[in-house]
Amino acid sequence: MRLLVVEDDKDLAGQLRRALSDAGYAVDLAGDGEEGHFLGDTEPYDAVILDLGLPILDGITVLRRWREDGRNMPVLILTARDRWSDKVSGIDAGADDYLGKPFHMEEMLARMRALLRRTAGHASNEIQCGALRLDIAAAKVSLDGRLVNLTALEFRLLSYLMHHQGKVISRTELVEHLYEQDFDKDSNTIEVFIGRLRRKTKADLIETVRGLGYRLTVADEV
């Protein structure tokens, strides 16, 4: 899963990035509304954390422009404003949730998990595909009750497939959602990660759809 954090406070932005990265997400940062709008308008993020009090373009303007342009990624707004009317303005502009400053990182992570699982149509923090189980809150994967040891990139890839199980996901889409913006992206490495995941989990769960991409499906449903 790939996230965008738009926050002009460098210390807070760094804290958010570390917390989200430790939780298994790829994270890009933008320090003002103009840069944030550009990234959100041109990159396929799974979710965005958006501060309202931004330089150049304020958060409400950024959010409204995204929604007017048809960008439908879930957005969690951050606000230091106490007035309920500011929160209502954010929700009405297209935000999916809000978090008041100051906040605990655990609450931010919980709200982000909720946004992502609702977007993918899951009601629980545990997603299952056959004997394979993903615990979103703990960032752990198990097979038949036994923990599966995955690298950070392997976890991101499997998490994306499990959030979208049953759907064919192209290599390009996987690359876009697996890596951060400044990472040297190479679609050929996806095959390497798929091979590793097949060895560590079950080979029949990850299906190659020739010419289209990959699909995570229980064998009986293929």
**Is residue 222 very low, low, confident or very high in pLDDT (cuts 50, 70, 90)?**
very low
Cα(26)–Cα(35) distance, integer angstroms: 18
Give the end of a domain, one of 66, 94, 119: 119
Report CA torsion sign: 89, 60, 112, 170.
positive
Phi, psi values for residue 155, rounded to 5°: -65, -45
Domain count, the chain: 2
pLDDT for the residue numbered 85: 77
* Same domain as 98, residue 12: yes
Strand pairing report for 126-129 and 213-216: unpaired
* Structure token digits, residue 168: 């064919």
CB-based contacts of 113, cutoff 8 Å, min separation 6: 125, 136, 137
pLDDT tens digits, one per residue of 26-83: 999 999 999 999 999 999 999 999 999 999 999 999 999 999 999 999 999 998 866 6
Structure tokens at 155: 């976890």
Q: What is the domain-level CATH number for residue 40? A: 3.40.50.2300
Q: Is the peptide bond before 102 cis (omega within 30 degrees of 0)?
A: yes
- Pair 12, 106 in one domain: yes
Q: Where is pLDDT greater, at 45 or 139?
A: 45
CB 114 within 8 Å of CB 127: no
One domain for residues 105 and 11: yes
Residue 166 and residue 84 share a domain: no
Query: Domain containing 151: what range?
Result: 126-221
Domain boundary among 93, 119, 145: 119
Per-residue pLDDT tens for 155-212?
A: 999 999 999 988 999 998 998 888 887 666 666 788 899 999 999 987 678 999 998 9
Last residue of a domain, one of 69, 94, 119: 119
Predicted confidence (pLDDT) per residue in 153-166, tens digit:
899 999 999 999 88
**Do 104 and 138 fall within a single domain?**
no
Q: pLDDT tens digits for 103-128?
A: 999 999 999 999 998 888 887 889 99
